[in-house]
Amino acid sequence: METVATKTIWTIDPTHSEVQFKVRHLMVSTVTGQFNKFDGRLETEGDDFTNANVYFTADIDSITTNNEQRDGHLKSADFFHAEEHPQMVFESTSMTKVGQERYELAGTMTIRGINKPIVLNVDYGGQMEDFYGNHKAGFEITGTIKRKEFGLMWDAVTEAGGVVVSDEVKLALSIQITKQK
């Protein structure tokens, strides 16, 4: 008799998660920003995250870099164009175990309506039951994208010839998920 694994649904706990990005400014320092409103879910075979199906969204209007003028510029047509493209979306194509507590998460990122394949590094933090009997799991996710590939084309050069904003954007997510009962 063949055993069929049970599908398990996990959802992001936004109060215990962070979605950040880092980009070089003037090529001498780094500006950190984050999305304050995001959602996501994973579908797994039981409690095994290998081959999990991952779906994630972040609301562009929730972007913050602790500078209101810069945040407004990022939401404008120069960058994310939040009015026409209110969400950034990631949908996985594979999640492969590459080490004892490491995965490689491949999928399609959609920003400004442009879809591009990306690969993210995932460090698995383990599982634990919280004080309320909820089953939790945690992950640190990192990767790099090129913003211009997604239509975030604004560019400027200083009088000295320096680049104002790097094309390379580092992603850093700290995600806690809750197993749905």
The pTM assigned to this predicted structure is 0.90
| CATH class of this structure's domain 7-179 | mainly beta
The encoded tokens of residue 4 equal 């069929």
Confidence of residue 178 (pLDDT cuts 50, 70, 90): very high
Dump pLDDT digits (tens) for 91-149: 999 999 999 999 999 999 999 999 999 999 999 999 999 999 999 999 999 999 998 89
Beta-carbon count within 10 A of 180 CB: 11
Contact 23, 29 (CB under 8 A): no
CA 47 – CA 49 distance, rounded (Å): 6
Q: Where are the domains of the chain?
A: 7-179
Strand, coil or helix: 72: helix
